[in-house]
Structure 1
Amino acid sequence: MDLVFPHTFVPWFRSVAPHIHAYRGKTFVVGITGEAIAAGKLNALVQDLAILHAMGVRLVLVHGFRPQVDEQLRAKGLTSKFAQGRRITDSVALDCAQEAAGQLRFEIEAAFSQGLPNTPMANSTVRVVSGNFLTARPVGIVDGVDFVSSGFVRKVDAVMIRRAIDIGALVLLSPFGFSPTGEAFNLTMEDVATATAVALQADKLLFLTEVPGVRESLDDPDSPIDTELALADAERLLARLPESTLPTDPGFYLRHCIDACRGGVERSHILPFASDGALLMEIFTHDGIGTMVVDEKLESLREAGADDVGGILQLIEPFERDGTLVKRDRTEIERDIANYTVIEHDGVIFGCAALYPYPEAMTGEMAALTVSPQVQGQGDGDKILKRVEQRARAAGLASIFVLTTRTMHWFIKRGFSPVDPDWLPEARKRKYNWDRRSQVLVKKLS
């Protein structure tokens, strides 16, 4: 075991390093349902949040308490009352909600205070800050139903929350808000988490829920989870779904994710709390485990800049080492960085290519086309090729060519044709390595 472990652990740890660098200093709002806590998932979630906190992620945690309030009401011989998917919070239900919130806050703070040796919490120091950060307003009477002390978020005190997370604290929010007259209103975790993420302009909003995510087929409950939805696609999908009032409805969390992205949150996620480590898997693996809604205005395919040199070097180095790509040093990439196109996910570069024009021959070379092994087969190579072709057309070029020793068939399937090396522009022909014997392939641009 000792001999095998380094061969699996070290490459894995290096593979997540770009995500660690990308998320340091970012703000995540995490919403956890009361059902997850009732299912015994709190300690594992706290351990994962402590890891993120140690990596420099700024955290706001919002907890729900639906089953806990129901339990308090049952203990009093009463039943929960709901209308239009929202709890009717009379005076007794409000007392039960306050009791449930107090107990949960105590349990969460206790969980973050753990530090036993030989546990994930050893040496952790996570200070939890709670407070009256939320101003609320009543739901009022809707369709003849008086919701009494149920409310909506009116305002989030983003300034004070930022001050707390700036000093390294984790902010814990219960689904309660207060009016300027001091009245307490019972809110929903989903509304609080969404409003807080928008107010903070958080980098991520993550819901740990009863549902595994949004499935690719609305008609097949066993179809795969759709791991990424552009905002426009998510809106079209939501329009096809019936009105969602229950947390187990497909559109319930999707609606909140859409609202968050419309409000400026970069990415919103729906994760299954039943999967151990769902939070870490979603953040530190490319495909994740749930559904991510992405504001499509965040262009993942773009021209490279000076800050991308390190990411490009890290991406192409393994392919240079095995001989797939010709060796390029940092100075060369820095000099030619304007020629590069990159594709990124969550701030990490997963693909690149460079275009070197030869205007006198009306052609250009596409070089260093690379896609990370983590995402190969998912279409990123085609996206990069399409963008390079667009750049070539914009430069007035009639064709592009590549030199390759191992990927001829990939290019041929995409419209490239093999030619003799003598076809190359004179300036490129002088640099052709006859020992390497690279195949030259050309694609005409219509």
Structure 2
Amino acid sequence: MALHPKGFDLSLDRISRLLEKLGNPQDRLPPVIHIAGTNGKGSAAAFSRALLEEAGYRVHVHTSPHLVNWHERYRLGTSNGGKLVADDVLADAIQRIAKVNDGQTITVFEILTAATFLLFSEHPADVAIIEVGLGGRFDATNVIREPAVSLIMPISMDHEAYLGDRVELIASEKAGIIKPGYPVVIGQQDHDEAEAVLVDRAERLNCPLWVYGQDFFAYEENRRMIYQDETGLMDLTRPRLLGRHQYANAAAAIAAVRAAGFDVGADDADRAMTSVEWPGRMQRLTSGKLVDLLPLGAELWVDGGHNPGAGTVVAEALAELEEKQPRPLFLISGMINTKDQTGYFRAFHGMARHVYTVPVTMSEASVPNAELAARARAADLSAEPVNSVANALMLLRDTWDIRETAPRILICGSLYLAGQVLAENGTPPA
């Protein structure tokens, strides 16, 4: 981080030159499930991993960003479920990359992506799940020439400075991972314009194509998840990941794994719905240093979603919780300055009793907490700035009327904040 720029290089020239010096490890990977999208990429990766592991496959997984520790980005597949790369193995890979790069200008993400390909090519596995970092067309992961499947999850407004200020422009960038003749799965889209761009690109490139709502879909019935595609129905346990949007995410993963040619049956899928894990996304914290600061009986949740689309699905998940067990809702939020903060907060209008805004100490782009409180008020929420998550929890605890139902507290607005919270609580991803 000290040696290299943190931004994005919107071309593939530098990463391609670096990979060539490394012997093009990206061409020696197991079959790749390549995942792009604005929201839901991580959930799709988590579901895909669970499906494949339950079916007995060894699965490499690359996700970004990490929440607490750098090695979270690399899960190496083994016969017993995989493990995060060991620090010494990751350090060795980065040192070898630095040596061949020989001081040339390169971004941190490009180095980390090169490490993905190096690690995944040197450790045997049956499949590699690789999540796009930013966009698609010029993302450093997009040197994969023959994906087993390209999976594109919901597209909405985000990273407008890099990807464009209209959803169809963003969709065009994400569609850049589609390769001529290779399978494409399009997850549930909230914008018809985005779906039209994706379908058009896949059809023009003569790709086998599966579209959510046409070729496959999922719905709830009798507190179960029903998945349906051209082969028939699967009656599955509801996904462990919270929120109705996870039905569509799970369905996209099932469709993608099948499109990639992997044999995943109903029993495998049923087990996967209960074994799936995705830290920092509607994750309930039940123990730890921050949990110890709660009002008696309170619930603490953390979610790293950071744009209006993510705010909407998180608010819907909270509404589902409210139906089952009503509680007063409080937000503790920190955000960075590249996001639509007021747009994010609007999703919680009429739901959140109060918002405490905090600095995101893990990012230099943190919105000052007083300014963020003003953005929350612009969305018609009651808000006040507080110095830290711990102070917000203690303030809530010390002022809580114990005659009231204990509150539900959501820490939200940034993956950086989610990582900060998991570190402070003593519960990093493993």
Query: Normalised by the shorter chain, which TM-score bucket?
Result: under 0.3
User: TM-score normalised to the size of structure 1?
Assistant: 0.24
- Name which one, 1 or 2, has greater alpha-carbon Rg: 1
Greater relative contact order (Cα 8 A, min sep 6): structure 1 or 2? 2
Which of the pair is proportionally richer in strand?
Answer: 1
* TM-score, structure 2 normalization: 0.25
